[in-house]
Amino acid sequence: MHSSVVHGLSESQVTPEDWFDRRRRHMLALAAGLSLGWADRLAFAAPLPDAALKAGGEKLTGLGDITSYNNYYEFSTDKKAVKILAQELTLKPWTLTVDGEVEKPYTIDADELTKLFGSEERIYRLRCVEGWAMVVPWSGFALSKLIERARPTSRAKFVAFESLKRSSEMIGQRNSNLPWPYREALRIDEAMHPLAFAVTGLYGQPLPKQNGAPLRLALPWKYGFKSAKAIVHIQLTSTQPVTSWNQASPSEYGFYGNVNPEVAHPRWSQSRENRIGELQKRPTLPYNGYAEWVAELYRGLDPKQSF
């Protein structure tokens, strides 16, 4: 897993300083207007150090908690009911289409994902906007790989994610709690960030249905609602896509969804959080503890306006 060698260093030896140097060169090259292809752009983006990819050695949340306390409104708004109801979902066949502002749109079967894009483990903190949190060992691959394969055009500024709509199996879709299908989106620079992760597994096993099989996102610096489950369609767009939570309640759920202790939800404070399995609350960290890797994406943006 840590065999990839960059400039003579193994990933685990990459320090934050190294990473920033490479990142800065990458940004400078982009700012200079060099017309880099996507492959070249990625070559500039060095892998992140273990401190970012392994949640700094924090204690993992147990598999039982991760798989029985779920937000998945396609099935139920009752977190403890999702585990049972989600077993109705048929995972095969399952196709994923990547299209929109790209040179090479493609459709693949979910079975091909690991063959094409590989698999590595990422231990990420997950912070739900409701105030609970977990530490989860996901497996999967960098989201940038899925996007890069389609060769985005220079007009691609956003990436939209669409989840499955199949009310015959997803009984929560018979309610209109949210506009279906579930839609989420990122700016393209967020989607290409090395922390943005496409998830196909959990605790070294195939991803359970209740956690979003066969394909979901993990965006550890954002509230959980940004990490769509059961993805069937990824579309590159030139304008900001509509997202389900924002449509349902724009004053509560912004486009960004970045974890921020200082921006309260209209109905509760975000300054503290409850790590599942712990009694005492912890302080919420800016960008869920990932600020040093992602804060630069939001330079100049007012988090009170762009929440």
Ligand X SMILES: Nc1nc2c(c(=O)[nH]1)N[C@H]1C(S)=C(S)[C@@H](COP(=O)(O)O)O[C@H]1N2
Shortest Å, Cβ 263 to ligand X: 17
Question: Does 122 sit near ligand X (CB under 6 A)?
Answer: no
> Near Mo ion by CB under 5 A, which window of 64-72, 96-104, 156-164, 237-245?
64-72
Shortest Å, Cβ 95 to Mo ion: 27
Question: Does 124 sit near ligand X (CB under 6 A)?
Answer: no
Question: Does 224 sit near Mo ion (CB under 5 A)?
Answer: yes
Distance CA 168, CA 34 (A): 49
Residues in 60-119 at the binding interface with ligand X, rule: CB under 6 A: 70-74
Question: Does 227 sit near Mo ion (CB under 5 A)?
Answer: no
Residues in 180-199 at the binding interface with ligand X, rule: CB under 6 A: 182
Question: Does 258 sit near ligand X (CB under 6 A)?
Answer: no
Residue nearest to ligand X (CB): 224
Mark 120-131 as b/e (b = at least 16 C-beta within 10 Å): bebbbbbbbbbb
Residues 6+ apart with CB under 8 A from 278: none
Among 75, 94, 225, 256, binds Mo ion (CB under 5 A): 225
Q: One symbol per residue from 167 to 196: x for binding Mo ion (CB under 5 A), - otherwise; what is it?
A: ------------------------------
Residues 6+ apart with CB under 8 A from 207: 199, 200, 201, 213, 214, 215, 216
> Near ligand X by CB under 6 A, which window of 53-61, 140-148, 222-230, 293-301?
222-230
In 3-state terms, the chain is what percent helix, strand and coil (to 5)? Answer: 30, 25, 45
Question: Does 139 sit near ligand X (CB under 6 A)?
Answer: no
Residues 6+ apart with CB under 8 A from 300: none
Distance CA 221, CA 285 (A): 9
Distance CA 292, CA 266 (A): 27
Shortest Å, Cβ 230 to ligand X: 5
Residues 6+ apart with CB under 8 A from 260: 270, 284, 286, 287, 303, 307
Using DSSP, state whether 55 is helix, strand or coil. Answer: helix
Shortest Å, Cβ 38 to Mo ion: 31
Question: Does 256 sit near ligand X (CB under 6 A)?
Answer: no
Distance CA 135, CA 241 (A): 29
Residues in 114-153 at the binding interface with Mo ion, rule: CB under 5 A: 128-129
Residues forming contacts to ligand X in the complex (CB under 6 A) are 70-74, 126, 128, 163, 182, 211-212, 224-225, 227-230
Give residues in contact with Mo ion (CB under 5 A).
71, 128-129, 224-225
